[in-house]
Amino acid sequence: MGRNFQKKRKRLGMKPKPQAPLGPDGKRDDWRNHKPYKDIVKENEKYWTFYKAQNLFPEDEWDAFCTALRTDLPVSFRVQGCHRDRDRLMHELETRFFIPIAQSKEADVDEPKPIAWYPGAYQTKMTRTSVRSHPILAHLHNFLVTEAELGHISRQEAVSMIPPLLLNPNEDHLVLDMCAAPGSKTAQLIEMMHENTSSPSGMLIANDVDKKRCYMLIHQTLKRFHTANCVVICEDAARMPVLKGKDDVPLKFDRVLCDVICSGDGTLRKNPEIWAKWTPQDGLGLHRMQLSIARRGALLLKTGGRMVYSTCSMNPIEDEAVVAQLIRESEGSLRLVDAHPLLPNLIALRGVFDKEMKLYEKPSDVPEPLQKIICSTCFPPSQEEAENMHLNYCMRIVPHHQDTGGFFVALLEKVEEKTLNGAAVVGAPAYKKQKMFKDEPFTFLKKDDDRWKDIRNHYGVKEDFEYENLFSRRLAENDANCRQLFFANSAVKDFVLRNMTSVSIQNAGMKMFSRNEQKVESTRFRLSQEGIRHLLPYLEKQVVQIDEEDMMKILKTEETMIPLESLSCKDAVRAQDAGSVVLYSDKASPVCTWVGFHTVAPYVSKEERVHMLRMMGVDCSEIEQMMKSKRKQKAAADRQAAWEAAEAEKTAQSESAQEHLDEKTSSLSVEETENGKGMRRELLGCGLSEDGQLGLGSRSAPCVRLPEQIVGAPLSSNGTSVTSIACGEKHTLILADDGKMWSVGGNEDGQLGRGSRGPGSFTIYPVSFSGGVEIIQVAAGRSHSLAVADDGRLFAWGSNEHGQLAMPAQVSWQDTPRFDKHTNPSAVTELMGSTVTRVACGRLLESVLSSLSCICGSFLYDDERRFLHEGRVFGVNLDDVMDTFVAIGESSDAAQYSDLIMEVLRLSLFVEDFDPSTITSVETLRVYLILVWFHGFTTNVGRETVSKLHLPFAESISRLRPALRNSLEKWWVVLPVRHFNRFVTTMMSAVRCLVKDKTSLSQARLNLFGFDLFIEQPFFDITVRRLHIDPDSHLVWFSGYDVVEDINYYKMVGILSGLAVYNSVLVDFPFPLALYKILLDQEPTLEDLTELSPVEGKSLQELLDYQGDDFELYVKHRLCTGRGGEVKRQSEAFRDGFKQVLNSRIVAFFQPRELMELVMGNENYDWSELRKKEQNISMKVIRLLFSRCQYELFGNHTCIAYGYIASFAALTFMV
């Protein structure tokens, strides 16, 4: 089911397991003694019993089946079917590697053999480890690594090549891969669509539910196989939304691949860790989900289209049972196609229809609590149904027939359009609320796009090139800051434009152009190697054909720059404009280069260089060996750096934690004491004890005020073995390091898990679980308990009065004197088949934000950082906060949750008599970091929401004592960008609401920190006049008046100007060119004075003709110094503010006019359009202050104050 609990225990708050420290080489000491796969006991009695009963093959093959499963999986790979060099690569493999291997006398070396049913695919009995480490195979391994990195060769399990072969898509087909990651089958489908053309008109949509797996898919498929006809989306395959096609008609597909998630019992040879944990229940838990995915795939299929359903499991419940139910629900619209004749050389078993179900003979025999797991579709069809379904057309591959893994595949065809009986109707996705993390938009080029005009003129692109299929991942059209342009075919473009707002599209198309940051006279976009083969036939400029000798020089050199003088084609290259130039000796292998005045630099990867040299007949063995050595060196350096960083962090955390742990107290704690034999751990407890919840063993006192040792806790050689504790209202759960759970306290609702309800217990006893599972986390509610097992199952027991246990409603306890299962730990059937990683309990799971301490304590780190709250450390895991509130906000009951949380806040933080100035502990301030993620701040914000939520929140912060407010500022400074952006978004949501009511702005006031923060028009009139505005040029210059307090004002204006540049915000500052010369430490000229003051320039016409040297002194004094040096002081203050934000050497590379355009943009404004969108001047300034300031740039908190003062000022524009 894919989750690695061992690596996530600490982060998820589960029971930690001791780990050895990192060694100097970055590897853990326990890794060196790690039990290798060959030492894993490859036995599982349940597995043998289950498959023995299925009778999948003749009984005399059973021993061969078992023997094959106990051996490692052979290595298999295939050569890209549509690659132009496919035949040469296969010839290289067979002559340079396979023949020497066959002639080798080494006993442990096996020659790769062709796979009979797949031309261009090979398999060897050697494992991946032996191929990678055997000295005779070193060059073969390097060859495979290099070509696999480029996508020319794919290392893929043999059986996983079968589904794309059965689908056999054409170049014009619409293909859907529903569960695509990691991408080997997706790449195979793309290759098949490219077999007869380099530019297929069809489209492949690759989907996966996990974004991380989508990134893996993009890297392993699209970054290696450059194609314009593939789209990667991230959706739940079982609930795939309706995708829009032409004319917004629901999109249907010619081919659909359903390679669903499964128990993976056919991959035992590749994943031997499955041996120890496989059970027959694995398939039962996945059956429903597999059926849901297959249903959705069938509904998205065209009439006449074909769908492959496949799993890497041999379990009939995951295989034929799903197919049978799908055909049953289709009522004749789907039929099975006999897949065996399509691959005649593949040895495969026919599908079965009489699978064994030992526990129950028919669905009605299944007990009601288990019917959600063992449903009626898990049972074999009747004899009559089986004859009509033709389940024998399915194909099952078993390991011992062809030395492969286990696999199942079924090929279905849609014969008529009909809704599946019982399938859930899936419509267009509901409107999704705005999130902090959203997919970047796709913006396609328009006909009048200036970027394309420059590109077309510079490269001489032909008119028939589909330039309107170029797009960028930026929101604004004609965006000058766009860094890359991608290309997609017409089918992909149409899909993206119609579905971009409703489907999570992760990637599409291939990169065609990249922005060049160097100063060049022509276009700033260079050609990309990824898309050059598609673009080359359309180029008429910047293309040079060179001879093979020059191409080899360019590819073989290790230098980044190659001197042009060393090439015989230098004259032809110099005849082109400087910049991006395509060089080729063979049009099938062009190389994008950057040509300067004296050098040429190729823009190709090392792997592609090696491949091109290999195709030119060069022996690349030494080059590949050097690349391998560098990879090893880099990996070793990365491990060393990781080890050093881990050691430094470990030291810092231990020192910091030691300072704070002594100041902390808790209800229950584990303490280590010295007793002469070393450190010994003890369990201490204090608090209420009237129901025995402290486990002290007697009714000594109803309340224990000082911590006392709990003697009945589980012990080990070093004292108590307790690793975590959960406290309910009257009971306590204790988890030991061996995975056993203990309980003590009240038991009126059976919350102790002892099989009955009744009086509580003052003595700690262990809790027994069915199956001997190991518990990794416990949680306690008021009168119910939860536990997570190491296999991902969730157990629950105790009171279910409010449905806390996710079990069917029962009669009240008073009316049920008989034994009830709720007093025993029972697995939650609703979650069977899911992997639970973390669990939490509330009192009744209806009031989880009842106090400030509850809010602040709900999201603390699980390690020592939870105790740190001084300086810039706040101890809260804000990512957990984000995940929790985002999940609440996306719930169908989000509105009810919002009302509940608002009511709780009204009774605690926002209560009228609550005085924030009485807060004495810095820890309480954590609530101000947590609450901004509450979805009520940004969802359906209206005047009532602002008055009841935003305003009380802002006022609560404004009334904090200065010392606490300063601590809060320090936390804001170090917030990650995503969390600070959330704070800004929260405040701005109120601003947007208040902007709609402009009549209230004149009455709005807020006194914050002793200042009236309302911004009025007269304020701007006075402020602007502090700068001198020339009546003729309308340009602003420094006043030169002797007003000392204005120096900070000029510095603030400089900071705002710098922030505008830093955040790529264009602001129409009416500054002359002379100001930007001063910023760049250049002397203004007489022309600058004329620009600033035309009248003064004309009156000094004779001065213009004066040939002496002293007139420059006048200009300098007039513009730079001023009367009494005031202009100099003011301009230096402005420059200090500007450079406080942009203190970088890069600024010095700009010319004054370039810097001016960077701040103001060009002068071709559409004023009519601007007037439509312009708000009043006060709101413009608020938005300016809300620019995405990177507060880490400042050494003081002045600008931080500007940010949140403006925020709260805007929030209090009350109606």
Confidence at 846, pLDDT banded by 50, 70, 90: very low
Higher pLDDT pick, 899 / 9: 899
Q: Is 454 exposed, middle or buried (0-12, 13-18, 19+ CB in 10 A)?
A: middle
Residue 1150: its pLDDT value, please? 74
pLDDT at 408: 96
- Taking CA 271 as the corner, what is the angle to CA 268 and CA 272, rounded to the nearest 5 degrees? 70
User: Over the stretch 781-814, which tens digit does the pLDDT of each residue have?
Assistant: 888 888 888 877 788 888 887 767 766 655 444 2
pLDDT of 633 > 70? The answer is yes
Q: Say if strands 75-79 and 153-155 run parallel, antiparallel, or are unpaired.
A: antiparallel
Model confidence at 157, pLDDT cuts 50, 70, 90, reads very high
Q: Are 727 and 667 in contact (CB under 8 A)?
A: yes
For the stretch 422-456, pLDDT in tens is 554 444 444 444 343 346 788 898 877 888 888 99
Q: Which amino acid is at 74?
A: P
Residue carrying structure tokens 């690695």: 4
Mean pLDDT comparison of 247-256, 842-851, 1196-1205, highest-scoring range:
247-256
pLDDT score of 1106 more than 70: no
Residue 1097: predicted pLDDT: 64
pLDDT at residue 1208, rounded to an integer = 40
Is residue 602 annotated as involved in ligand binding?
Answer: no
Give the range among 457-466, 908-917, 1044-1053, 1092-1101 with minimum mean pLDDT. Answer: 908-917
Check pLDDT > 60 for residue 1002: no
What is the predicted pLDDT for the residue at 1206? 43
Q: Determine whether the annotation assigns residue 450 to a binding site.
A: no
Mean pLDDT of the region 517-536: 80
Residues near 457 by beta carbon (within 8 Å), at least 6 away in sequence: 523
pLDDT of residue 1166 exceeding 60, the answer is: no
> Of residues 401 and 1091, which shows the higher confidence score?
401
940-978 residue pLDDT tens: 788 788 888 888 888 888 778 888 878 887 887 788 878
Residue-wise over 604-634: b if at least 16 C-beta within 10 A, else e? Answer: beebbbbbbbbbbeeebeebbeebeeeeeee
Q: Which fold has domain 74-156?
A: Alpha-Beta Plaits (3.30.70)
Top pLDDT among 871 and 1154 is at 1154
**pLDDT band (50, 70, 90) for residue 822:** very low
The predicted structure's pLDDT at residue 1109: 52
pLDDT at 230: 94
pLDDT at 1085: 74
C-alpha distance from residue 147 to each of 78, 178, 191, 610, 952 (Å): 11, 27, 15, 9, 62
71-85, 153-167, 397-411, 850-864, range with the lowest pLDDT: 850-864
From 205-214, 293-302, 559-568, the region with the lowest mean pLDDT: 559-568
- Positions of E strands within 790-947: 794-798, 826-827
Closest to 180 (Cα-Cα) out of 202, 151, 209, 156: 209
- With a cut of 80, say whether residue 767 has pLDDT above it: yes
Residue with tokens 């003129």: 457
Share of the chain above pLDDT 70, in %: 70
What single-letter DSSP state applies at residue 821? G
Task: Please indicate if the annotation marks 743 as binding a ligand.
Answer: no
Q: What is the mean pLDDT of residues 75-85?
A: 83
448 is in an annotated binding site: no
pLDDT of residue 487: 94
Range among 590-604, 766-780, 901-915, 1091-1105 with highest mean pLDDT value: 590-604
Q: Is 553 annotated as a binding residue?
A: no
Q: Minimum mean pLDDT among 895-904, 1120-1129, 1176-1185: which range?
A: 1176-1185
Active site residue 312: yes
Place of tokens 């020592």: 864
Strands across the sheet containing 775-780: 775-780, 784-789, 794-798, 826-827
Task: State the Cα angle at 661 between 658 and 664, rounded to 5°.
Answer: 165
Is 262 marked as a binding-site residue?
Answer: no
Can you give the pLDDT at residue 460? Answer: 92
Q: Does domain 668-831 have CATH number 3.30.70.20?
A: no
CATH, range 1015-1211: 3.90.1750
Is the pLDDT confidence value at 1126 over 60? yes
Tens digit of pLDDT for each residue in 455-489?
Answer: 999 999 998 999 999 998 876 555 666 788 999 99
* Lowest-confidence pick of 113-127, 155-169, 702-716, 1198-1212: 1198-1212
pLDDT value for 682? 80
At 1202, the amino acid letter reads Y
Residue 108 assigned as binding residue? no
Please report the pLDDT score of residue 674 as a whole number. Answer: 41
What confidence score (pLDDT) does residue 1017 get?
36
Given this model, what pLDDT does residue 949 score?
A: 82
Residue-level pLDDT at 1099: 64
Tell me if 179 is assigned to a ligand binding site: yes
pLDDT, one tens digit per residue, over 126-150 is 777 777 777 777 788 888 888 888 8
The angle, 0 to 180 degrees and rounded to 10, between the axes of the packed helices 1126-1141 and 1047-1062 is 30
Coil/strand/helix, residue 356:
coil
The mean pLDDT value of the chain amounts to: 75
Kindly tell me if the per-residue pLDDT of 980 is higher than 50: yes
Burial of residue 275 (number of CB atoms within 10 Å: 0-12, 13-18, 19+): middle
Tell the burial category of 844 from Cβ atoms under 10 Å away from its Cβ (0-12, 13-18, 19+).
middle
1213: confidence class by pLDDT, cuts 50, 70, 90: very low
CA distance 695 to 711: 8
Average pLDDT over residues 20-25: 51
Q: What is the model's pLDDT at position 704?
A: 83
Q: According to the annotation, is 183 in a ligand binding site? A: yes
Q: Is the preceding omega at residue 1072 within 30 degrees of 0, hence cis? A: no
pLDDT over 80 (residue 234): yes
What's residue 436's pLDDT?
Answer: 37
Highest mean pLDDT among 664-668, 712-716, 725-729, 758-762: 725-729
pTM of the complete model beyond 0.85: no
Structure confidence by residue, pLDDT tens digits, 332-350: 899 999 999 999 999 999 9
Residue 304: how many other CB atoms lie within 10 Å? 11
Between these two residues, 157 and 221, which has the higher pLDDT value? Answer: 157
Provide mean pLDDT across the span 644-654. 76
In the prediction, which pLDDT does 1041 show? 63
Q: Place 66 in a pLDDT band, splitting at 50, 70 and 90.
A: very high
List, as one string, the DSSP characters of 855-898: HHHSSB-SSGGGG--STT---B-HHHHHHHHHHHHHSTTHHHHH
Question: How are the residues of the chain apportioned to helix, strand and coil, as percentages rounded to the nearest 5?
Answer: 45, 15, 40
User: Is the pLDDT reported for residue 52 higher than 70?
Assistant: yes
For residue 1026, the model assigns a pLDDT of: 43
Exactly one of 214, 234, 312, 727 is catalytic; which is it?
A: 312
Tell me whether residue 259 is annotated as binding.
yes
Sequence-separated (6 or more) residues with CB below 8 Å from residue 543: 536, 581, 582, 584
Most confident of 263-267, 824-828, 972-976, 1166-1170: 263-267
Angle of CA points 358, 359, 363, to nearest 5°: 105
Q: Which fold has domain 40-70+158-178+240-429?
A: Rossmann fold (3.40.50)
pLDDT at 606 over 80: yes
Domain boundaries, the chain: 1-34+630-664, 40-70+158-178+240-429, 74-156, 668-831, 852-1008, 1015-1211
